[in-house]
Amino acid sequence: MTKQNKCCTIGFNSGIGGDDSCKDGKSLRNTSRSQSYLHIANFSTNDVGVYYCELAFKGGVENYLINVDITVPPRTSAWLEDRDKVAVCKAEEGKPAANISWSYGSNLSSVLTRPGPDGSFTVESRLELTEGMDPKHLTCIIRHLFWKEKDVVLGIKRKKVAGYFPWVAILVVLVVFVLLMGFLYFAQKKLMLRRCQQSDTSPSKSPPTEDVEEVEPYASYVQRVNSIYN
């Protein structure tokens, strides 16, 4: 089999056994009627490609080529921009590419198709609104193979501009924080100044007086010596 520029082989021989060089989850299985089929788990765009089937039996050999593709519906959106002078309709990552048209037939529309790395396509159509065209009644019609006979019709809305509310809120919080810190700083300085003034104007204390110990008067006696008895 060949897929996405990659060749690999999955086979089974009753006498030899199985062979798998793909190593991506694919496997050969049999139905209740012993009919072989290739099982592809988790099918994705990576499995798109040409599958070559060779069936050998006693009566001969049969070869088959099977082209496997995938259909992916796009993500759709529509909006106004450039001061409501341009209408934009977008179909993203669809496969195959979507077809976009407008309810107003005008030659002032342009279409840009960009292929994706996975094989999908993003289609964007831009319509310049002329004077007298009311965006309220303007619609975008998207056709895609996935929807078969149904089309997706989108009304055009003004594109939401990224708001500045988070930045304004952050700025307001910062300003309030700075003002609060400034208020606390000046309040603390004023309180310290008041304390200093109170300490300077307080009455001076008188020097401490020393306790004087009272001394009791004492009498002295002088003994006279009588010379008569000596």
The region of weakest confidence among 11-20, 27-36, 100-109 is 11-20
Give residue 89's pLDDT: 95
The token pair at 9 is 């082989």
The mean predicted confidence, pLDDT, of the chain is 78
**pLDDT band of 78, cuts 50, 70, 90:** very high
The pLDDT assigned to 162 comes to 46
Say how many CA atoms lie within 13 Å of 23 toward its Cβ.
2
- DSSP per-residue letters across 95-127: BS--EEEESS--S-EEEEEEE-TTS-EEEEEEE
Cα distance between residue 176 and residue 195, in whole Å: 29
19: nearest Cα among 27, 51, 53: 27
Domain definitions of the chain by residue range: 2-68, 75-158
CA dihedral sign, ordered 73, 79, 82, 86:
positive
Question: 82 vs 108, which has greater pLDDT?
Answer: 82
Maximum Cα–Cα distance for the chain, whole Å?
185
d(CA 156, CA 134): 10
Distance CA 179, CA 195 (A): 25
pLDDT tens digit sequence for 161-217: 444 456 677 888 888 888 888 778 777 777 776 666 665 555 555 555 555 555 555
Q: Quickly name the fold that domain 75-158 has.
A: Immunoglobulin-like (2.60.40)
The model carries a pTM of: 0.56
* Model pLDDT for residues 94-145, shown as the tens digit of each residue: 999 999 999 876 667 899 999 998 889 999 999 998 887 788 888 999 999 9
Selected residue with higher pLDDT from 1 and 185: 185
Kindly give the pairing relationship between strand 157-158 and strand 75-81.
parallel
Across 52-56, 72-76, 116-120, the highest mean pLDDT is recorded for 72-76
